[in-house]
Structure 1
Amino acid sequence: MCGIVGSVQPKVEGVDQSLVRRMCGLITRRGPDDDGFYFGDRIGLGMRRLSIIDLHAGKQPIHNEDKTVWVVFNGEIYNYRELRRDLEKRGHRLLTASDTECLVHLYEDFGEELVSHLRGMFTFAIWDDRQKKLLLGRDRLGIKPCYYWQHKGALYFGSELKCLLAIEGLERSINLPALSDYLTFKYVPGPQTIYEGIRELPPAHIGLWSDGSFHVKRYWQLKPPSGEPRSLDYYAEGLLHELEEAVRLHLVSEVPLGAFLSGGIDSSAIVALMSRAGQGKVKTFTIGFEDGQVGVDERPFARTIATQYGTDHSEYVYEDPQRQVGDMLPAIMQSFDEPFADSSAIPNYMIAEAARKYVTVALSGTGGDELFAGYERYRGALAAERYRHIPRAVRQGLLSPLINRLPEFRAAGPWVDRLKRFTQGVDLPLPERYQRFLAAFDEDEKTQLFNKEVLNCLKRERHQATPLAMDQVPASDDPLEWMLRADLHTYLPDDELRKTDRLSMWHSLEVRVPFLDHKVVEFAAGIPAKYKLHGMTKKYVLIQALDGIIPKHILGRRKQGFSIPLSDWLRGPLRDFVRDHLSVAAISRAGYFDAAAVETLLDQHDRQTHNHEIKIWTLLVFMVWHGLYVNR
């Protein structure tokens, strides 16, 4: 595990070695153990290493036998031992015991098709000195990141945005369409970034640079289910087999290894299968709240699993929200380098910080919700289909007015807001309706929020509306299957995996996600949607697969999520922090939003007439980021 950077130039001797070293130095947290560089005609490669496999001999960059192919690599290849055996049978001579070295020899044999042989999470850069070509590759699901910037035929790349922000001449101009999209999704959807000109290599894509030109193309995509459906038992047994193999492969490590444990189905499954794989006494970590604090505390459920499997369990609690969030939020923004408003970043930051004190690698249950329909919005979108059968006159004349008059009181949490969104979007087509479940601000709300100057700029750039997430994937006759594919393509890499990577690497911790082993994902894609959301039961097939492995009261509990009591904090211990960053003066100085519109949101939330927690948090995060990166 590490971070990588590089620069390739159209002219011989065009590489600025000091720049490559400076870019690499900015991601020391990703790899505090070592660094390494290769400089040749037109090329400069750099890496930071977090030593996990072949601790002593796995130094990068790594080359082939005659030093004509070089690689820097971020991630883990879980089938590397099998690949090594095959390479040696074909006559290759490997000098290390690392997974990285496999890449240069696979490239010699298969060229850009090498990615089809890899099972793991990765971003790599391979330099072919004979042909003067650079190959970038990113794993199928987007677990590991890669950003790039093109300029006058040159290409610069790095594992994080901060690497590219070190380049002199690259202006930090705000990408206004990306800002608009951020206000919808609470993250900037790839492949764009918040900065004009900087792009992200999409998941399951490779990029090929040659003679000053750079082309990106897809190498893998999920296939829709085919053939006659099988029985539920068939899918449950097959899923358990795939998960057991994936977890076993993800345990390869020469350093201490543990797991995040929330007490939900996904993390409990990972811990159970780790223990069943003979991992021994697994080190597990859970976040909770102090007694008397408002918020979901999953520690009792986590203790159930920790006790059943005899883990070495540690719990960490929130004690002083104002101080902790005020201290953490700038660090969180520095880990992302662009605004990111998923509030679960806070507990994820804390658990990564806690885990790193004891382990270098942690396994996570990330991905289970997107594969097996674990989010409430799936049920909501499908419930709307049934709700539409109620005569329109009854819905619009009686039910909608009643729901819209419901007060958004504290005890209701986000449910009243969700119910109002549900009724307001019920007559929309599914892609638009689904977007309303996801959005912090809808298009009308953004029109009220932006100031006139920004609105005029967006019009000039022909950015009429944020693209619908479901339009990013082929339509499906099955609405649930369509939503799941949309989340796998958008929300999973751009929110969940981005969050996991940045916050773990900020603490020099490698997090692995067995649910997103591509063999598991391909098997799950073939399971009929009716076995994922069965009636009102989410993750039905996963529950069947884990029956007898995880206690029934854990399998049957309602999903609560890795969340914080945001609404109460924003009008309570964080109120002064929010008011400082979202004051009329601060909003006016930034120059994007209408200060009166922001003030209205704050006042309505304080008076508890509306629950604007998501909107306020999205704006707060942007302003904290803006102060760090734009108003430096």
Structure 2
Amino acid sequence: MCGILGVVSTDRPNIDQQLFDRMLDTLRHRGPDGRGVTILDNGRVWFGHRRLAIIDLSPAGAQPMCNEDGTVWITFNGEIYNYRLLRAELSQLGHRFRSESDTEVIVHAWEAWGKECVHRLRGIFAFGIWDEHTKELFLARDHVGVKPLYYSQYAGRFTFASQPRAILEDGAFPREIDATGFRDYFAFGYVPRERSAFAGMRKLPAGHWLHLKAGRTEVREYWHPEYRPARLGAVEAVTEVQGRLVQAIDSQLVSDVPVGCFLSGGIDSSLLVAVARRTIELRTFTVGFDESSSDERVHAQEVATRFATEHHEQLLGRPRVQAVLYEIAEYYDEPFDPNGPMPFMEVARLARRHETVVALGGDGADELFLGYLRYDDFDRPLRWSGRFGRRLWYWARGNGLLGARALSDGDMERYFRYEGACTDQEQAGLLTAEFRKQVEGNALDTLRPYFQSGQPALLTAQLADISHYLVDHILCKVDRAAMAHGVEARVPFLDIDLIQTALSLPIELNYARGERKSLLKRAARAFLGPEILTPRKKGFSSPLASWLDADLRAWGNRLINDGVLVGRGVVRPDWENGLLVRARANAWASIRTWWLLVEAELWGRRWIEGGQAWGGHDV
């Protein structure tokens, strides 16, 4: 994992060394082990790299990196797990290598296969390639968007970077709020798809590449998740999943630095530990809470003891809350629901404190193997609501009397009620009418492409989760928190071959008789005992309602009332009335919205006004 930066002047060179160095060094947390800058095309193209050394720790692995004659250059963030196989294939084609790094493999893959090289890569990646022969720039982001990539065209230059902060450091880029992106933040708790929170800045979506030549930009999708059921029996499916999972984990243990695992105590991370311990010594890291409803330390300790890991725990309590809120504003660059990032910031800090630079995480398993509780609502007949209806559904599904239901007209709204935060109507009580006039469309537009008729509602929700919730919430949360502390988070469940396998599983096996994660549990029996397979997952989420005491609420209210967003006419001065209306309908929704407002204000002060995220956070 690293931080990457590139600037291509669309006409004459119009960036200087001092400015580029400042932009690059905003990414130092992503790459604390080294930096490199390369100037190409007579000063028109600048490539920068901040290095987190993991594979080939020698100077030969430094970036930006080039081919033999210096005509193709790359700045790369991520890991290519099949690089040794690709290296052998490329060597047979006549390519020569000077390092043992996976980075150099991508350079020669571009020479051999051009844009099609992305189909050969198995890993997590975001990279930029400049080809001196053809004067073209090629950007690519991995299949499911584990690694981030932002870009913008302004002031006669095209700039791309791992995080917005590098672009924001350029004084020529105007720091303005993107109204639609900001609306989407309050709708979902994050800014989804190609939008960003900054006007004039975009994200390259997962599974896409971008090509720039002669001032013309083309963005194209090269992969998206698709359900393709195969004719598999139960035994064959279990064997296939086991094989793909072991293969994915083993390939992601490749590292020249120590490897650990974020351990929540649930099935997913426990399975990673069990498989990884077959071949390596392992450190495990868990964050806990005083509130028992959110605490999984006991379960994590059971797994660590069983598989003899070097286990470490960290407690996150109310006294640390405000400091972590400021950290989220500092390192996430865009406004982000603090619920998930809070514990992940702490567990990543813990890993780095114990000199662990690479950590495996169980992210993606719930999406691929249908583990979320909400999936039941996309399978149960709509007329079977209430306690009796649920019991009837469990009985009928368990006895094989029902199949998956078809998508209905209200399923998109149902999905939003689970994963959304504030509807457009609810936002009217928070955001000013003048600001909302700048917003395009409505909050549900982001979800609309996924909710098309033709497949069961359950699978529609699954594909929406993989393309939307997983990419822009889960993976963004993990990337920013881990990289804030110079830790590479790897996600074996999101190996592309394992994804394709999961999406080929017949629904009657993967969600057998209405049992969530049915097939993954069967596959895990070979590695885990029955006590670990028992449902008990809480995951790394924060007890936000318990933490919101009178002092914290008073601090947050002062912050918002005296803040940037009210002052700029974005948030209504009477926003508290809007929260009271929400509280009457849904107390938890009101609490969550309060946290979203606080984090948005901290973000506005840091990244719109350009102030400091630290300081002034006393109660």
On whether the aligned pair clears a TM of 0.5, the verdict is yes
Q: Does the CA contact (< 8 Å) of 1:165 and 1:172 recur in 2? A: yes
SS of the equivalent of 1:244 reads: helix
- Taking the aligned partners of 1:587 and 1:83, their CA distance within structure 2 comes to 50
* Residue 454 (str. 1) matches residue 400 (str. 2): no
Q: Does 1:311 align with 2:318?
A: no
The residue that corresponds to 1:279 in the other structure is: 280
| SS at 2:421 equivalent | coil
Contact 1:571 1:606 in 2 (8 A): no
Deviation at 1:275, TM superposition (A): 0.8
How far is 1:389 from its partner? 11
Match of 2:81 in 1: 78
- 1:134 positional shift: 0.7
What letter corresponds to residue 10 of structure 1 in structure 2?
T
Distance in structure 2 (CA, Å) of the matches to 1:588 and 1:619: 11
CA contact (8 A) 1:263 1:298 kept: yes
In percent, how many aligned pairs have the same letter?
A: 36
- Specify the alignment match of 1:562 in structure 2: 540
Deviations 1:499-554 (A, max 9, x none): 11111111000110000010100100101223333344211110010014212132
Q: Report the Cα offset of residue 243 of structure 1.
A: 0.4
For 2:53, the aligned partner's letter is: S
Partner SS for 1:29: coil
Structure 2 residue aligned with 1:168: 171
Q: Does 1:31 align with 2:31?
A: yes
Question: Is residue 527 from structure 1 mapped to residue 525 from structure 2 by the alignment?
Answer: no
How far the C-alpha of 1:219 sits from its partner, in A, is 1.4
- 1:287-344 CA-partner distances (Å, limit 9, x unpaired): 1124xx454211111112111111111111124x1x3111111111111111001401
Shift of residue 452, structure 1, vs aligned partner: 2.2
**Structure 1 residues 585 and 248, CA, compared in 2 at 3 Å: closer, same or farther?**
closer
Choose the corresponding residue for 1:69, options 72, 82, 85: 72
Q: Provide the secondary structure at the position in 2 that maps to 1:341.
A: coil
CA distance in 2, matches of 1:28, 1:157: 16
Q: CA deviation at 1:496?
A: 0.6
1:337 matched to 2:333 = yes
Moved more, 471-480 or 364-373: 471-480
Match for residue 16 of structure 1? Answer: 16
Q: One-letter code of the match for 1:234?
A: E
Instruction: Report the equivalent of 1:411.
Output: none
More divergent stretch after superposition (579-588 vs 333-342)? 579-588
C-alpha contact (below 8 Å) 1:295/1:564 kept by paired residues? no
Distance of 2:341 and 2:21 partners within structure 1: 30
- TM-score by length of structure 1 reads 0.88
Alignment of 1:188-267 (within 5 A): 188-227=191-230, 229-267=231-269
Contact 2:229 2:505 in 1 (8 A): no
Cα distance in structure 2, aligned partners of 1:473 and 1:92: 46
Structure 1 gaps of 5+ residues are 396-425
| Pairs aligned (count) | 590
SS state at 1:538 partner:
coil
CA offset at residue 468 of structure 1? Answer: 4.5
Which stretch shows the higher mean deviation, 534-543 or 468-477?
468-477
1:532-551 to structure 2, matched below 5 A, reads: 532-551=510-529
Letter in 2 for 1:77: I
Segments of structure 2 that go 5 or more residues without pairing to the other structure are 391-406, 612-619
| DSSP 3-state at the match of 1:100 | helix
| Cα distance in structure 2, aligned partners of 1:306 and 1:172 | 46
Partner of 2:425: 444
Structure 2 residue matching 1:238: 3-state secondary structure: helix
- Taking the aligned partners of 2:35 and 2:597, their CA distance within structure 1 comes to 37
Cα distance in structure 2, aligned partners of 1:608 and 1:490? 25
**1:187 equivalent in alignment to 2:168:** no
Question: Is the 1:342–1:495 Cα contact (8 Å) retained in structure 2?
Answer: no
Cα distance, 1:437–1:223 mapped onto 2, change above 3 Å: closer
- Give me the whole-angstrom Cα distance separating, in 1, the residues matched to 2:587 and 2:77: 48
Alpha-carbon shift at residue 390 of structure 1 (Å): 12
Residue pair 2:545, 2:588 contacting (<8 A) in 1 also: no
Task: Tell me how far apart the structure 1 counterparts of residues 166 and 539 of structure 2 sit (CA, whole Å).
Answer: 32
For residue 206 of structure 2, what is the amino acid of its counterpart?
A: P
Tell me how large the CA RMSD over aligned residues is.
2.5
TM superposition score normalised by structure 2: 0.90
Q: CA deviation at 1:14?
A: 4.2
CA distance in 2, matches of 1:607, 1:447: 16
Deviation at 1:62, TM superposition (A): 1.1
C-alpha contact (below 8 Å) 2:265/2:537 kept by paired residues: no
- 1:440–1:618: 8 Å Cα contact kept in structure 2? no
* 8 A Cα contact 1:147 1:199, kept in partner: yes
- In the TM superposition, residue 585 of structure 1 has moved relative to its aligned partner by 7.2
Secondary structure of the structure 2 residue equivalent to 1:47:
strand
Give the whole-Å Cα distance in 2 for the aligned partners of 1:27 and 1:570. 33
Higher mean alpha-carbon deviation, 147-156 vs 205-214, is at 147-156
